[in-house]
A and B are shown apart, each in its own frame.
Chain A
Amino acid sequence: MKKFILFYVGLFLLLGCEKKDCCTNLEPITVTLQFTHNWDGIPINSSDFNTFKFTTEHGEQISIERLRYLVSRIKIGDFEKNYQLINIGENTGLELVLAQIPQGNQFLKFTFGFTDADNIDGIYPDLNSTSFNVPMMMGGGYHFMQFDGKYKDSNNQNANFNYHAIRAVNASNPMNLILEDTSFEVEIGTFELSKNTAIEIKMNVAEWFKNPNLWDLNVLNTVLMPNFDAQKMMSENGRNVFDVGTISN
């Protein structure tokens, strides 16, 4: 009896191995995404926060005080990670390790924010626990980005801005919210993966204020969540913020 079992176990293991070996003999690899941030090429780290260090395309000096954003459906080949919250001030989420990625040519893309299908109110405990929600009166779901800081206004006084990206909402009739999915897909490109690889994904924060919509913080500074047009503009500007950086093995 025991011998039988042993035999079957052995057979099974043997077959198991054979299957793996049959075609290419390629071990899966690990891909590490490294999210880095810059202002037109000047690196931004948490140590660059809280000082008037950067100037927007429109000409306002700004100080970054809080910057966290969400990317979702991070896809490399057939592999998909549901979402990742990146918080620059707290240095969390800056690295995403994707293990067991098959070798070969793989396409990398992700969504900035949540698509409507995923943007469901209150269902992600980790995001609730870190207060990333959007109240129901503004359509519910989650922030895509919470970017808070100060700018020098036209009188050179400090003023606050809350550049919060969410699903666009027109709440002028609270009984009938008009919603528009303003998340967008970011295609990073195809990578030939043959060993463990780190891929840098760069966000140029200056782009949020640049192109195609030149952003005037004197006009658009706070209470942007319920501002439908501002959300559309953020979404348009966001298309240019991500870029691939260094690839290293």
Chain B
Amino acid sequence: MLKKLLFTISLFLFINCSSKEEELYLPITYNLEIPSLFSQKLIAPVIPANNPLTQEGVALGKKLFFEKLLSGDNSQSCASCHNPQNAFSDTNQFSNGIDGKKGIRNAMPLFNLAWNFDELFNWDGSEFSLENQAFEPIRNPIEMHATWKNVAKKLQNHPEYPTLFKLAFGTSTIDSVLITKAIAQFERTLISGNSKFDRFLRGETSLTPEEENGFNVFIDEAKGDCFHCHGSNNNPLWTDNQFHNNGLDTNISDLGLGAKTGDPADNGKFKSPSIRNLAFTAPYMHDGRFATLEEVINHYSEGLKPSITIDPLMKKVQQGGVQLTSKEKADLKAFLLTLSDFEFINNPDFRNR
């Protein structure tokens, strides 16, 4: 009896396997190299169960990220606005779309996106998940201005892509869902965790007295008090990925999160950007209004503008801010620059070859 049962079970398993086998779909798992500080200090990154990372998927996603066929006139790829040299941002205040049209937002840098635990992307959190976010730029008239139907057709007729999709997803039928899945896989591999400050935290290097003092300004509640929103040695993302109004304007024209939620209490709130890699990501803020870090620091020190929705963590708003001394400002800047990750921007895995 038992033997019969075993036999039937194994037969069943066998049949099951062999039916899958005809697809010859065996992508190799991609192991994310998670920086030690991240695994010590943070919860696990977000990898959706329906889009696990595979070597074939990530490689395809990378190719697609640099692929100009994704735009209406084959002139622009994701990387046109998200350049590896600029920590996957660009140097313009507002990026040009394929028709030369400009938006009203500064291109965001792309790194450590799998650690955005709430998965709300864009300055205003308007897109949930990286897969969904990737749908948007391709059909956006002021960005790549294509239609998904045409993009899928162009890739389908390409000599290489059908095979690459087959290897990554087990089908050579290309559609928007698989394209965005592959891109999202690549985006999740963009990890920045090896700046001078990371090496300092790992005990591999030391800071200058100025950098150290700058860090103290950053975490001192009476001075910078930046850590409540921009992370710390214990939150190596250097952002809370939450939405705040950091006092840029009294009259708010771009409603930010408020436009998405419809709640006036959210007007003027934008996602705190990570302060990693600032050396490569100028200009700053959602509208790229500040060209330099000096301007950013002056803003927090004496340029705060009151408004109904300004974050309560902004101190002494009526006086414009906490009035840092020029030494404190210079040191704060020196500290911020220790979070520049040159290895990240020069990583050949993230470059178009």
Contact = CB atoms under 8 A, between A and B. Distances in A.
A50 B265 contact: yes
Contact of B117 (A129, A136, A157, A160): A129
A128 B42 contact: yes
A83 B143 CA distance: 46
Nearest to A224: B221
A133 interface: yes
Given A125-B41, A126-B43, A135-B219, A161 B312 contact: yes
A222 interface: yes
B222 A129 contact: no
Contact of B317 (A49, A133, A160): A160
Interface in B106-146: 115, 117
B312 A128 contact: no
Contacts of B40: 122, 125
Contacts of A122: 40-41, 233-234
A84 to B, nearest CB: 16
A51 to B, nearest CB: 8
Contacts of A66: 312
B229 interface: yes
B67 interface: no
A173 interface: no
Contacts of B317: 159-160
Contacts of B265: 49-50
Contact of B312 (A130, A148, A225): A148
Interface in B260-293: 265
B73 interface: no
A28 interface: no
B37 to A, nearest CB: 10
Give the bracket for the number of chain A residues in contact with chain B: 20 to 34
A125 B43 contact: yes
Nearest to A127: B234
Given A225-B221, A226-B222, A133 B312 contact: no
A215 to B, nearest CB: 16
Contacts of B315: 160, 162, 222-223
Contact of A129 (B43, B228, B308): B43
A130 B240 contact: yes
Nearest to A151: B312
Contacts of B182: none
B72 interface: no
Contacts of A130: 240
Interface in B284-337: 306, 308-318
B314 A129 contact: no
A202 to B, nearest CB: 24
Contacts of B311: 65, 148, 160
Contacts of A159: 317-318
A131 B229 contact: yes
Contacts of A164: 221
Contacts of A138: 221
A2 B1 CA distance: 13
B235 interface: yes
Nearest to B44: A125
Contacts of A121: 234
Given A131-B229, A137-B220, A223-B222, A160 B314 contact: yes
A162 B222 CA distance: 12
Nearest to A51: B265
A133 B318 contact: no
Nearest to A66: B312
Given A125-B42, A129-B43, A131-B231, A223 B221 contact: yes
Contacts of A223: 221-222, 225, 315
Interface in B222-264: 222, 225, 227-229, 231-235, 240
A225 B231 CA distance: 17
A122 B318 CA distance: 35
22 contacts: A126-B43, A128-B41, A129-B115, A129-B117, A129-B235, A131-B228, A131-B232, A131-B235, A133-B232, A135-B219, A135-B227, A148-B313, A158-B308, A159-B317, A160-B310, A161-B312, A162-B313, A164-B221, A222-B316, A223-B221, A223-B222, A225-B221
Interface of B: 2, 40-43, 115, 117, 216, 219-222, 225, 227-229, 231-235, 240, 265, 306, 308-318
Interface of A: 2, 49-50, 65-66, 121-122, 125-126, 128-131, 133, 135-138, 146, 148-150, 157-162, 164, 222-226
Given A148-B311, A150-B312, 5 more contacts: A50-B265, A65-B311, A129-B41, A129-B115, A226-B222
